[in-house]
Each structure stands twice: as structure tokens, then as C-alpha cells.
């Protein structure tokens, strides 16, 4: 198991291309979801210095805060509420250039300006949500979605 992340310099694609194999090596054959989500959160936060990186886990009829890095966060989110609840309900990735323009956005931190949210599936149901917030408008694009979606698909394969 790798015990550190080597931060690569360059464009987003270069950084993601270097980071994702390191995350996979860090996790190795670990099967504990909480441990894995914690290390993924830490690796993404350390590499990109996003405002907030974390997971919400589906528990019965709501999303419950899981491992994260960043300021304190909302603990529970209902189906269809905010960006995370909408991604869960629609079972799709959501990129938000300006969170203030997203109908029903839940303000966990007034510092958050843009967001990307990706569902993680298990047994054909949303199991968890990867949520990343930035202090800058329009931080996330198709490159982020491509690499983060790939990471989420890999996480699904080890659940």
C-alpha cells in the first residue's frame, strides 16, 4: 500500500492521470468503505485543494454525511434536495458552475461557488454520492467529470 500521494504538476488531465493510479494503490485490497472513502477524500483535497471533498451515503431514505475533507457540512440530505439529493434522485452526475443559480441549493458553506456531484452505485441503486465544492465559479468541467466518473466506477467495483 502506498502511504503518500505524489503531487503531479500540469494540466488537470495530467494531474488526474497521475492521481487515480495512486489512489488505487493507496486503497489496495482494502474493503472497508469508510476507510476507502476517507482516503479518496483526502487524496482529492490534498491534490486539488478544493473547498470540500466528501461522500454522502444512502441510509434508508436520506443521504448521511460520510468521510470528508473541508469545513463542517450538512449531516443529512433528503432525496431530491440540493445538488446531492438531485443527483441521487436522478442517478446522474451534476456539474454546477454557480451554486447560487441551482434551484434548491443547500448552503452548507457560504464559501462554495461551484460543485460537482457523482453517484456511486451498488446493486443497481445509488449507494453513495461523491460531492466536491470549490470556492471558484465554474471550476468543474468535462475533464473533471470524466476522471471522477472513472474513479467512482472503480469504487463501485470494489464495494
- Per-residue pLDDT of 103-137, as tens digits, reads 877 777 788 999 999 999 999 999 999 999 999 99
Distance, in Å, from the CA atom of 19 to the CA atom of 155, rounded to the nearest integer, reads 14
Q: For residue 26, which of 54, 7, 1 has the smallest C-alpha distance?
A: 1
Q: Does any domain span residue 67? A: yes
Residue 77: in which H helix or E strand, if any? strand 76-78
- Per-residue pLDDT of 48-91, as tens digits, reads 999 999 999 999 999 999 999 999 999 999 999 999 999 999 99
Q: Dihedral of the CA atoms 134, 137, 138, 144 (nearest 10)?
A: -10
Q: Does any domain span residue 7? A: no
How many domains, in total, are found in the chain? Answer: 1
Q: Does any domain span residue 4? A: no
- Supply the mean pLDDT for the chain: 94
Mean pLDDT of 88-96: 97
pLDDT on residue 104 = 75
Q: Does any domain span residue 5? A: no
CATH number for the domain that contains residue 120: 3.30.450.40
Distances (CA, A) of 48 to 45, 91, 106, 140: 6, 25, 23, 12
Q: Does any domain span residue 2? A: no
The parent domain of residue 16 ranges over 12-158
Amino acid at each position: 500500500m502506498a502511504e503518500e500521494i505524489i503531487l503531479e504538476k500540469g494540466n488537470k488531465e495530467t494531474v488526474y492521470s497521475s492521481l487515480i493510479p495512486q489512489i488505487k494503490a493507496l486503497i489496495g485490497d482494502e474493503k472497508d468503505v469508510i476507510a476507502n472513502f476517507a482516503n479518496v477524500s483526502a487524496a482529492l483535497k490534498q491534490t486539488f485543494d478544493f473547498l470540500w471533498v466528501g461522500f454522502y451515503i444512502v441510509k434508508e431514505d436520506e443521504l448521511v454525511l460520510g468521510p470528508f475533507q473541508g469545513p463542517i457540512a450538512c449531516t443529512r440530505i433528503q432525496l431530491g434536495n440540493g445538488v446531492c439529493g438531485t443527483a441521487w434522485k436522478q442517478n446522474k452526475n451534476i456539474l454546477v458552475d454557480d451554486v447560487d443559480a441551482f434551484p434548491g441549493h443547500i448552503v452548507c458553506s457560504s464559501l462554495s461557488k461551484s460543485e460537482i456531484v457523482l453517484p456511486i452505485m451498488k446493486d443497481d441503486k445509488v449507494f453513495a454520492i461523491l460531492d466536491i465544492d470549490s470556492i471558484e465559479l465554474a471550476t468543474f468541467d468535462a475533464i473533471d467529470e470524466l476522471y471522477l466518473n472513472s474513479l467512482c466506477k472503480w469504487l463501485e467495483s470494489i464495494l
